[in-house]
């Protein structure tokens, strides 16, 4: 059907839509305009009209001869005086490209908004879990400190110290989650970096990536700084893993 099409009259608006200088260019460029995806539908619609239909309307994603995408509503009508011969078909093409692009933009914005809502929900959930978990840790730390004060000489005292250190690390983790969720701000305090690194030595040695002896050369007279200790504890394992993998 495509090969039998003859364009008898084309107005200037149609030439402008498809960026054609003359109707002859438009005729021989139909394959480019409708492309592979629309070629079959285009042929089927022409054949349907030839087989007895008198009108058709459909949406097409077409292209101008210069390559730009054109979204069109195409309407085919057989004039009443040609119902017997079907030798003439009136075709109207309505350019809805801007409307289509606006619709696609609206859908994209809605998708981004839904994604933002999901992130906000996850943030709220993360903050709630972190808050509840932090309350549990505070109870563990409180009872650990009481046990250490009651018995500061037994061999279990060192174990209690490790429990306390581990609980503080877990509290740091929940604090980072709270910061990421926007429900808390970094807690700045005056601290000694060497002391922070020294406290991190036992858990760092237990990391699975460590296959060699870990030693620190820490300056005893290092000046104190104002920083968030939890963020320093977060950086140390990353630096250590990078060093091992290198």
Q: What is the pLDDT of residues 24-83, one digit of tens each?
A: 767 666 767 776 666 666 666 767 766 777 777 777 788 888 888 888 888 878 777 776
| Entry pTM | 0.45
pLDDT tens digit sequence for 210-240:
566 777 787 778 888 888 877 787 777 777 7
Tokens matching residue 29 = 């460029």
Residues 65 and 107: their CA atoms lie apart, in Å, by 28
pLDDT-based confidence at residue 146 (cuts at 50, 70, 90): confident
Tell whether the model's pLDDT for residue 133 goes beyond 80: yes
Residue 242 has φ and ψ, to the nearest 5°, of: -65, -40
**Across all residues in the chain, what is the average pLDDT?**
78
Tell whether the model's pLDDT for residue 109 goes beyond 90: yes
Taking alpha carbons only, the member of 237, 122, 106 closest to residue 177 is: 122
Tokens matching residue 166 = 């581990």
Residues 77 and 164: their CA atoms lie apart, in Å, by 83
Give the pLDDT confidence score for residue 37 in this predicted structure: 65
Tokens matching residue 91 = 């075709």
CB 63 within 8 A of CB 73: no
Tokens matching residue 41 = 């539908």
Give the pLDDT confidence score for residue 107 in this predicted structure: 92
**Most confident option among 83-87, 103-107, 234-238:** 103-107
189-191 and 225-227 as β-strands: parallel, antiparallel, unpaired? antiparallel
| Range with lowest mean pLDDT among 2-6, 108-112, 158-162 | 2-6
CB 45 within 8 A of CB 91: no
State mean pLDDT over 114-135.
82
> Considering the chain, what percentage of its residues have pLDDT values greater than 90?
3
């Amino acid at each position: 059907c495509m090969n039998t099409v003859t364009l008898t009259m084309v107005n200037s608006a149609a030439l402008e839509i498809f960026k054609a200088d003359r109707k002859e260019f438009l005729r021989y460029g139909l394959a480019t305009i409708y492309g592979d995806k629309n070629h079959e539908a285009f042929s089927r619609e022409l054949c349907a009209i030839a087989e007895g239909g008198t009108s058709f309307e459909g949406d097409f994603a077409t292209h101008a001869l210069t390559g730009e995408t054109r979204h069109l509503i195409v309407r085919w009508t057989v004039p009443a005086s040609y119902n017997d011969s079907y030798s003439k078909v009136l075709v109207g093409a309505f350019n809805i490209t801007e409307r289509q692009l606006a619709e696609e933009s609206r859908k994209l914005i809605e998708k981004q908004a839904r994604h933002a809502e999901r992130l906000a929900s996850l943030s709220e959930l993360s903050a709630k879990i972190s808050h509840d978990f932090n309350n549990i840790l505070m109870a563990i730390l409180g009872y650990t400190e009481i046990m250490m004060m009651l018995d500061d000489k037994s061999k279990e005292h060192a174990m209690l110290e490790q429990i306390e250190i581990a609980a503080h690390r877990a509290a740091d983790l929940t604090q980072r989650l709270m910061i990421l969720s926007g429900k808390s701000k970094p807690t700045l305090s005056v601290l000694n970096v060497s002391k922070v690194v020294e406290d991190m030595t036992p858990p760092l040695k237990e990391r699975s990536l460590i296959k060699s002896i870990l030693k620190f050369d820490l300056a005893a007279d290092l000046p104190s700084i104002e920083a968030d200790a939890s963020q320093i504890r977060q950086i140390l394992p990353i630096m250590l893993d990078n060093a091992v993998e290198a």
